[in-house]
Amino acid sequence: MSDPRWSEHVADILRRNGIRLFATVPDYIVSQVLEHLWADRDCTVVTACREEEGLGILSGAYLAGSRGALLMQNSGLGNCVNTLASLNTAAQIPVVLVISHRGDLGEFNPAQVPMGQATERILAALDIRCVVPHTVDELEAQADGLIELAYTRSLPVAFLLPADLTGGRPDLTRGEG
């Protein structure tokens, strides 16, 4: 059973590590984190049209002295691949990726499944250090260290958030998700 406070933990982890600028293409799951950030006057959330555009924005902000995080669904990781390689990796520009993992255990939408199954291998292919916390305790145990590693190594890192942490996305609307 997912801890309903998972999203508050994620928001607090990002903020206590000095991140105040966020870019997103929202989904049902990361929106639960965004609610906390939207409510915080010290935080700026930029909604991009496409996830890779968010990477460009956060990369510019990093060059100007600000830490940033990109909140998106794993489908958005697919939209980010070239930018993660040719901008963030090539120029050594760190960014924290917060990725909701659709298309894995309990998925109801067949269109989400191929990307869901490819997600961890895409991150591995890009040499992006990733943690997959299944509980809030696991999240808290790994989070500060992962973010520190991003800035030590000057490269992207990823939180991949599985459905057992977040509760996933219920198929309430019978719509696309």
Q: Which residues bind another protein (CB under 8 A)?
A: 21, 44, 46-50, 52-66, 68, 82-83, 86-87, 90-93
Work out how close the CB of 49 gets to another protein at its nearest, in angstroms, rounded to a whole number. Answer: 3
Q: Say how far apart CA 121 and CA 118 lie, in whole Å.
A: 5
Q: Which residue has the tokens 């799951």?
A: 29
Pick 2 or 31: Cβ nearer another protein: 31
Q: How far is the CB of 137 from another protein (least distance, A)?
A: 34
Cβ proximity to another protein: between 65 and 110 the closer is 65
Torsion sign (Cα): 128, 106, 54, 140: negative
Which residue, among 24, 134, 87, 42, has the nearest Cα to 33 in the 3D structure? 24
Q: What are phi and psi of 46, to 5 degrees?
A: -105, 120
Write down the least CB distance from residue 143 to another protein, Å. 23
CB of 173 to another protein, least distance (A): 25
Closer residue to another protein (CB): 48 or 146 = 48
* 67-73 and 96-100 strand pairing: parallel
**Which of 46/136 has CB closer to another protein?**
46
C-beta of 98: minimal distance to another protein in Å? Answer: 17
Cβ proximity to another protein: between 84 and 132 the closer is 84
Look up residue 75 and give its two tokens: 């489908």
Residue 125 burial (CB count, 10 A): 11
At which residue do the structure tokens 């929106």 appear?
Answer: 31
